[in-house]
Every structure is written in C-alpha cells, then in structure tokens.
Chains A and B, each alone.
Chain A
Amino acid sequence: MKKTSTPVLPARTAPGDGPLLAVDDLHVEFATRQGVVKAVNGVSYSLNPGETLAVLGESGSGKSVTAQAIMGILDMPPARIPRGEIRFRGTDLLRLPEDQRAQVRGQRISMIFQDALSALNPVFTVGWQISEMFRVHRGMSRRDATKKAIELMDRVRIPAARQRVNDYPHQFSGGMRQRIMIAMAIALDPEVLIADEPTTALDVTVQAQIMELLAELQRESNMGLILITHDLGVVADVADKIAVMYGGRIVENALVHDIYRSPAHPYTKGLLDSIPRVDLKGQELYAIKGMPPNLLDMPQGCAFHPRCPYRQDNCVTDAPPLYEIGPTRGSACHYWREVFDDSRR
C-alpha cells in the first residue's frame, strides 16, 4: 500500500493551474440529541482569483456551514466531515495538519459575518482588534500594528480613522462596524474572502456602500470572494457566478447572466419568481410552497420533490446528480430541460 505523504501548503505565488479554491463533494453532519443532522450533503463549487461566487439558498440550506468548513472553524464534535475535499491551491485543507491549517485561517482565507456588532468583541477597541492581526500573525510592535490598523480603517473609508482607532465597537454605526470587520478580514491580504450575509443587518443605502467597498477591494487585490446572500438583487450586480443550495446540496450552478435569463432548476426558478417585480404590481407575490427539508430525515430521491411542480415518479426514488448542462453550468434536476424551456424569457 502506498503511504500518503502529508500535504504541504503551497506558497501565495504558486503558479496554480487549478482553481484557487475548490470544494469537492463536501459532507458535513452534526451529532445532536435528536440524531445526526446532515447539513451539507455533497457540495462542490470552485473559485478563481478575482472572481465572485454568490451562494444562494433559503435559511438552513447549509451555506454557512460550508463556509465554516472552509475556514476550519466548525466545532468538531459535534460537527463531522465524513467525506469531501477542500482544495486550496490544490492542497486539501482537510488533510493539512492543524499548525499549517492555522497559517491559512485569517491570513490566506478570511471571513466576515452577518451581524458586525455581535461579531466584534465589545470590550476591546476596534484598533486593538484590527491590529491584533499584525501583532499575533506578523509579530509587529503595538505601535506599528496600530499604525497599520489606522491605514486599514482609512482604506475601508472610516472617517477620521486616527481619532476613532481607540473607540469601541458600540460607538460606531452598523455600516461602520461592518467596515471594521472588513478591515480586520483583509488585514493580511487574504487570497479568499468569505462574506456571510455581510449586509443583511444593514439598511439599503448602507448595503450598497458595503457591496461597493467589497467589489473595490477585490479589484485592487484580485482576491476571490464568496458572497453568501439572500439578496438576488445584489447578486446580479456583483457576482460572476452563482451556486444555488437546497437541503445541503448545490442544485444549480451557472454564470450569473445565464441563471437570470433562464434558470434550469425548479427551485432556482421559484426563487427568481418570488422577486417582487414592478411590471407585476398588484398581483400576489409568488412563494415556493411547502417547508424546507428536515435535515434529520431527508426525503428519498430529490430533496426538493415534495415542493416541486415538475415532479415525476422517479424524482421520489432517484436523487438526481448535478447534470452538466453546459460548459459552465450544472443542474440537479431530472427535468431541467423542461424547466429551462419554460423559463426562457
């Protein structure tokens, strides 16, 4: 038997031929009192430098859990990753020893969260929290690190950064707090940034500003961005490609304009149909009927079949694979062609 050698982490400048980050057939489950919750059931997606991947899907579909698995911040136990790979520049992070994994976390792949107020530590100043990245990971002195923190606060457009570096998170507005989170996340020039619903807690104008800031930072640094969101409007503006999740699986992936023009999965179609449209004003809003699947007891066959208007007999028994329906496109529906034809606009 061939002995598998311990993988080593490739350098930042490694001339990669594959994608920057590739999630492959990832499974995550949680041991709970009620039983095993299968939160992620074979997710695959990939990301290239400078690219924005939007991950869509309703609450509980496994978007955040997938992101946390990439970051390596799941509590194990109760979490378990029975199968799958997360390749970063070709190296499987899941097989990397913890000390090397720690070199990736926060430095080469970083993450921002939905609610910046609770995601920032209330008892330390924002300057302290940002500069901690330089002190801990780069061994900088307190003074140099603070200088860096001020530069970063400037870069994410926090007004009067020098005066505000010693303020506490609660002294900032929601939008400014999210900027501080972003400053912290980009401090060490990560190659991948995962933003988990970064604007959900903010009002609309601030949302747009934050998205603009992320897009701009991405242009400057060529990092890959994984944007987890519910907001289909945002997706159309900033994303290059989309992965739609349902019941812990990717049900459809495509380039952003393809999917808006003609979804090829009944769930995606339902999502798009439920966006309020001006030309349909006065009509009742469309909503996908039924309940999200029970992750403790997934239905046989296609997870979406209990709610699917295109259901046929074999959907109840055979789980569809992710059919390759184009060079950059996949749909996990036996009847994707019908959906596709129906939804061409």
Chain B
Amino acid sequence: MGRYIIRRLIQAIPVLLGATLLIYAIVFALPGDPIAALAGEKRMDPNIVAILRDQYHLNDPFIVQYWYYLTGMFGGDFGKTFAGVPVTDLMAGKFQVTINLAVTALVLEAVIGIGLGLYAALRRGRPADSLILASTLVLISIPTLVTGFVLQLLLGVKLKTAGIDLFPIAGVTEGWRSYLLPGFVLAGVSIAYLTRLTRTSLAETLRADYIRTAVAKGLPRRRVVGRHALRNALIPLVTFLGADLGTLMGGAVITETIFNLPGIGQQLFSSVHLREQSVVVGIVTVLVLVYILANLVVDLLYAVLDPRIRYE
C-alpha cells in the first residue's frame, strides 16, 4: 500500500511538468506586453521598462524563463506578480474561497444526489421516480449560467424582499451561508448525473444474486437494502464524486463570477488578461495537484470499499 502511494506520487511528476510547461507556453504566446499593461494608458520611462524586463527575465528565451520558474516552484516559490505580491500569498486566500465553494458543492452533490437516487431506485416506476428523473433531465439541459442567475434572482433577491433572508446574493461576508447558493449552482449538473448514477447503481445491485441470498436469509428489508445492497452500490459513486472534485474546482470560474466570490476562478480570469504568467501557471499547477491527489484518494477509498481490489 505504502509503495503503491509512493509510486503514484512519482507518476504525478511528469504530469505536473507537462501541465505547467503547456500553460506556461500558452500564456507566453498571448499577444500584448505585461510591463506596458502595468502602466495603463501612460507611457513609461524606457529605462524603468528595461530594468523591469530584466528583473522578470522577460528578455531571456522562453525555455530559460520556464527553467527559472520551475526551479523556483520546486523550492516552494511561485514567484511574484508584476505588482510585487508573492504568488503564494495571493493564491492562499483565493484558494480558500474556491475550496470552500467546491467542498460545499461536493457535500450538496453527495447528499442530494445520493439521497434522491436511492429514493428513486426504491420507488422505481412510481410517480416519485419519474418526477426525479424528469427533474434531473431539466437540470442537465440548463446551462449553469442560467441556473445561477435564476436562483440568484428567486432565492436571493425575491425571497429577501419577501422577508426571508436565507441566501446571500453575493460575496463571502456571511460565512458558510454565502456558499450555499453558489455551491448548489456549481453542483447542479453533477447532482443530476449523480442522482441518475445512484439510481442505476442501486437498482442493479438489488438484482444481484447476493441480494436474493440476503432475502433468503430472512433478513429484514431495511437490512437487505441498507447494508447488503448499499455497500455495493456506493462503490461506483465514490469514484464519480472523487473525479468530480476536480471538475467542480475547474467549473468555479463561472459561478464565482455570478456570485462575485473572490476565488481562483476570478483570479485566473483576470491574470490571463494581465499576462501574469506566474499566477496563471501557479494556479493551474495547484489545480493539477488537487486533481491528482483526489484521484489517488479515490483509488485508495476504492480498495477500502471493495475488498477484491488490492494494490501492491
């Protein structure tokens, strides 16, 4: 097990290198001059421009710049923004917001998705099941942008004017409550998929031979479903949830914009505009890392849930 984890982490290194190189190259190739952008409309003194360009290694060839960046990164130094702020400091605060958002979304997704899916599976073919299935289709087919604004208007604005102030409309000033609405919007499509996956998974498990055995053992139905079926039905759902964490963090850009949350999504967006190479690559590197770790955790959980799987 320990050896397996180490091997997986070593395998992650080339992935990280490849991802950073790619992003670095893309930002490098963007048109425009970051130093000129610093001064806005004003013209800068050519001497200052030269000093700045030198300080940020902007005159060196691409591969040399990348090398400087890489060596710094492995020392834990993601560089500075053109305004002089260390990228690590900048990212820390932003990531906190995005992680709060993604975790809220993941929890909502797991609770609502699995809950509805189980309910539908146990009521197969009945009106409740059909209603749940239809709602998931609706949720899947509406873009996040639309659900975001509609819910913001209905639950944020209208409810508040009606005197019920449950969901803050924007910003992160209200603690965990600030994340409820954006978390739900971010998770929306995933909730729908997870509901359907849960429903299929449990329904299929309930047809398994070992469920027939459990019934023949004279166990109460509660136990047959809640113990024998559920433990097996959960296995594919864990994989889905783990893989989805990365998707949720990546999908945060739109949601953060709608609800004005100062997370990495917003930051990424503005940094690409400003050609802040170090910030963009820093954020993407951490995202890739989160993705890799999430997948590793999923694989380990898999072995815990399914004894047939063993890692050497």
Contact = CB atoms under 8 A, between A and B. Distances in A.
A102 B220 contact: yes
Contacts of B223: 136
Interface stretch (A119-127, A207-215, A263-271, A283-291): A119-127
B218 A137 contact: yes
A114 to B, nearest CB: 9
Given A136-B219, A170-B308, A118 B231 contact: no
B219 A119 contact: no
B305 interface: yes
Contact of A113 (B213, B219, B220, B307): B213
Count chain B CB atoms within 10 A of each CB in A107, A110, A118, A121 and give the residue with the most.
A121
B244 to A, nearest CB: 23
B217 A122 contact: no
Contacts of A168: 307-308
Contacts of A136: 217-220, 223
Nearest to B219: A136
B168 to A, nearest CB: 42
Nearest to B305: A123
B210 A122 contact: yes
Given A124-B231, A168-B307, A170-B308, A119 B209 contact: yes
Contacts of B308: 122, 168, 170
A109 to B, nearest CB: 9
Interface residues of B, number: 21
Contacts of A118: 208-210
Contacts of B232: 121-123
Contact of A105 (B209, B216, B307): B216
Contacts of B217: 105-106, 110, 132-133, 136, 184
Given A123-B231, A168-B308, A111 B210 contact: no
A115 interface: yes
Contacts, number: 69
B307 A73 contact: no
A106 B216 contact: yes
A69 interface: no
Interface string A117-156: 0111111110000001100110000000000000000000
**Do most interface residues of chain B lie in helix, strand or loop, or is the interface mixed?**
helix
A71 interface: yes
A73 B208 contact: no
Contact of A123 (B212, B215, B307): B307
Interface in B194-241: 208-210, 212-220, 223, 228, 231-232, 235
A181 B216 CA distance: 11
Interface string B263-305: 0000000000000000000000000000000000000000001
A110 B208 CA distance: 18
A118 B228 CA distance: 13
B306 A122 contact: yes
A122 B219 CA distance: 17
Contact of A102 (B210, B218, B235, B307): B218
A120 B213 contact: yes
A137 B217 CA distance: 9
B216 A123 contact: no
B145 to A, nearest CB: 41
Given A136-B223, A168-B307, A170-B308, A119 B210 contact: yes
B219 A106 contact: yes
Contact of B209 (A71, A103, A113, A137): A113
A125 B231 CA distance: 13
Given A123-B305, A133-B217, 9 more contacts: A73-B212, A103-B218, A105-B218, A110-B216, A121-B213, A121-B214, A121-B228, A122-B307, A137-B218
Interface of B: 208-210, 212-220, 223, 228, 231-232, 235, 305-308
